[in-house]
Amino acid sequence: MATTTCGYEPIRSGDVILFYINRDGLPLSDRCTDRMWTFCMEQYPKNALQIKSIRDRVSEYPSIAYGDPPYNVAPNPRLTVQEKLQQIQTYVQRLEYNYTGMQFFDLNANRPISGLMDTARHIMTESLPIKCFEAFLIAIYLTTGIIGLERFNISFKTRFNSIVYRHIVLGVKYGQIYGGLGLSRRTDLAYKPLNGKYERLSTLIDDYVQAYKNYGHTVLRIRIGLPIIHDLKSYLTINWNAITIHPNKTDRIDYERELDKIVRVWRQMSIYASYRSNVSLASVVQPTGNIVTAASLPNRLQSLSFRSNREASFNCRRSAVKKTATTTDDSHATDRDQSLPCAIRV
């Protein structure tokens, strides 16, 4: 991302400025505040006087009290998974969508999960209006620890009136049921309840694609990543692009087959992660950014085998990898830094 000396940076689609990103931190600096209000007037010139009147009266408005984030929802045994996701989605919606034209938080998707979760805590502390990516990070944070829940990104690239837009939601899978968490201007482009309606990943994706069509958007690209580890302090990065589909260029049957294929890949990965049942399967996958398109991928995973002399393998690696803490029993060894004798790569 290019650096800026004016405190904010425009995000463009061609020659059109979609919004600005605040680079000065919080509280919002005077120059970012001025740019935010000026941009609003530029977007709605017919309402300039009304916008100016609202700005002049900002100090008169009462402060808004927000409830605490539902930090304790994930480990609560009295709630079903569907109820937990509903409470998390309700909290995200209470923060409201950011229509100001100024993104308040400086986000970097390439940071490790630990850094992204620090940003998520900051967002929840400030309780400012947010957009889809901030909602995505909050959803990851609050769903961490829900046993049996797999989380993955679903990223959309669409076009409307020659302007390209991007959107992201957190896809979730519990058992054989799919759903989604997120925030959007349109309700049907965000939350998808875990109510049994989506028994296949392709059904969930088709629902989003149809919603975009209803609003006149052409879906150019959809990217789906690998499952995200349930560890707020992990130094792994999120694999954003395990599979890419182009609904406007690909027959529906073909891309549904690709979506079902990535689910089979997850299942194969789960088999080889069983010896570390206390760690999410994503923790044994190094982010590579490769696109899953070859039909032989499950066979590649089946061909992997673990080293028979596991203890000797760890001894060989101790001289090169600094371990934090190791516990050993009769069957296996577990390292908190997630150094593995065998890495599964996709």
Q: Which of 205, 310, 299, 216 is nearest to 258 (CA)?
A: 205
Question: Does the active-site annotation cover 53?
Answer: no
Pairing of β 177-181 and β 149-160: unpaired
Instruction: Assess contact for 113 and 237: CB atoms under 8 A.
Output: yes
* Options 32, 40, 155, 184, the catalytic residue: 184
Instruction: Assess contact for 85 and 179: CB atoms under 8 A.
Output: yes
* Options 32, 40, 132, 280, the catalytic residue: 132
Question: Does the active-site annotation cover 167?
Answer: yes
Instruction: Assess contact for 172 and 143: CB atoms under 8 A.
Output: yes
Question: Does the active-site annotation cover 184?
Answer: yes
Torsion of CA 324, 337, 116, 269, to 10 degrees: -160
Instruction: Assess contact for 97 and 129: CB atoms under 8 A.
Output: yes
Q: Which of 99, 74, 94 is nearest to 232 (CA)?
A: 74
Distance from C-alpha of 240 to C-alpha of 168, rounded to nearest angstrom: 11
* Options 32, 40, 155, 167, the catalytic residue: 167
Give the residue numbers marked as catalytic. 132, 167, 184
